[in-house]
Amino acid sequence: FRKEAERKKDEFISIASHELKTPLASMIGYIQMLKSRAAKSEDNFAVGILDKANKQSKKMNALINGFLDMKRVETGKIPIDREIFDMAELLIESEEESMATMSSHTVVFAPVERTMVEADRDKIGQVITNLISNSVKYSPAGSTITVACVNIDNMARVSVKDQGMGISQANQSQLFDRFYRVESEEKGNVSGFGIGLYICDEIIRRHHGKIWVESELGKGSTFHFTIPI
Ligand code: ADP
């Protein structure tokens, strides 16, 4: 019975995500049209509001994509398209992309070494963006996020470190589980569904790599992943 209920829930999530995608895409298109028109007529108030509407709809779009990815992960349909690229370059690109929508934190690169890998560039980029956006979500505005990329024992190792709330030892082992979210006072009402790290784990696993966290409650967290070079 439990299994059946679980399956129904999954099916509902997957159908709903699919159906939400098309109207949302049109809405984003309309918002962008209005924004460019407002910009032309120098209506700064409208530009500001439409900019916010645009950011919010992009967030919603990212959530929906998360659900669809989850489905793909579970049915083993997450294709890995390998290419050769420099991890350091991808890290810098992902940081720029993240900071375009979140400007509340300072990102420091230390150290970011040129590291050539053969992997799925988009998917690894998705993992990095996810780790950076979690750091932003779970650490105070104005604090620093440190990203690093080094080459150790024939593995490329990427780390994202924040000065946030941290994660207790007891919660660390479940972080990468589907729908798992830490319940805590200081976390407040940060939104999310607890599938980001689950998908990251799956992507890294498909690359024969590892993802893990080092953290202490109240003392920030560092997420690391490695993939073979
Ligand atoms: P979401 O952020 O949508 O809840 P994730 O799968 O990305 O889902 O993360 C799962 C949980 O792990 C989060 O709800 C949060 O409790 C915890 N977490 C993730 N990243 C951090 C971080 N950098 N600092 C503290 N807690 C974190």
Could you report how far apart the first and last alpha carbons of the chain are, in Å? 45
pLDDT digits (tens, 9 = 90+) for 95-135: 988 887 777 899 999 889 999 999 999 999 999 999 999 99
Q: Is the CB of 160 under 6 A from ligand 1?
A: no
Q: What is the CA radius of gyration of the chain?
A: 19
In the structure, what pLDDT confidence band is assigned to residue 188 with cuts at 50, 70 and 90? low
Q: Token pair 């916010």 is at which residue?
A: 52
- Residue 192 Cα: closest atom of ligand 1: 3
Instruction: Provide the edge-to-edge strand list for the sheet that holds 210-215.
Output: 106-112, 144-152, 155-161, 221-228, 210-215
Candidate from 70, 102, 107, 134 with most ligand 1 atoms within 8 A of CB, to mutate: 134
Mean of pLDDT values over 3-18: 87
Distance 191 CA to ligand 1 centre (A): 10
What is the rounded CA–CA span in Å between residue 228 and residue 119?
9
Read off the tokens for 20.
């939400």
What is the rounded CA–CA span in Å between residue 159 and residue 145?
10
Q: Is the CB of 125 under 6 A from ligand 1?
A: no
Give percent above pLDDT 70 in the chain: 99
Q: Token pair 């799956």 is at which residue?
A: 202
Question: Is the bond into 23 cis (omega within 30 degrees of 0)?
Answer: no
In one-letter notation, the amino acid at residue 162 is: D
What pTM was computed for the model? 0.87
Q: Is the CB of 209 under 6 A from ligand 1?
A: no
Residue whose Cα lies nearest atom 16 of ligand 1: it is 182
Of 13-17, 163-167, 212-216, least confident by mean pLDDT is 13-17
> Residue 196 pLDDT > 70, yes or no?
yes
Q: Is the CB of 175 under 6 A from ligand 1?
A: yes
Distance 88 CA to ligand 1 centre (A): 24
Distance 45 CA to ligand 1 centre (A): 35
CB burial string 60-89: b at 16+ within 10 A, e below:
ebebbebbebbbebeeeebeeeeeebbbbe
Read off the tokens for 95.
């940081």
